[in-house]
Structure 1
Amino acid sequence: MVLQEIWKQEEEETLSIITYGMGVHWAMNATQELGVQDRVEVVDLRTYIRWTIRPYLPV
């Protein structure tokens, strides 16, 4: 419920780009060229995978 309230409070539309590897660099460069860095979130899957797999790795 809290996330729905936060979503309603945003006045501008935003975009999330979920990618990895060179796609991260391409997305970052594109947002800079278009001047929309403040409205675009680039998520690098390589950092997410390390975070989710870590609890399952042997110690």
Structure 2
Amino acid sequence: MKRLAVSLTLFLVLSLGVGLLVSGSEVLDWGIAGGLFAIAVLGECFRFWIRRTRSKKRDSSSV
């Protein structure tokens, strides 16, 4: 759980930074920052799903 929080915090800061750099004269480009953060959240959810399915396969094998 700690890794998830650190990872999402890092991606939040990075996406806000990119939103500021791309915005130009505006304060922040929320579309780009939000889109990048959404991609990061989807990636973390995918990583969690992959880890869960692999552990289920490991548990289900009978010897």
Please give the TM-score of this superposition, normalised by the length of structure 1.
Answer: 0.34
Higher helix content, 1 or 2: 2
Please give the TM-score of this superposition, normalised by the length of structure 2.
Answer: 0.33
Larger of the two Rg values belongs to structure: 2
**Which structure exhibits the higher relative contact order, with contacts defined as CA atoms closer than 8 Å and separated by 6 or more residues?**
1
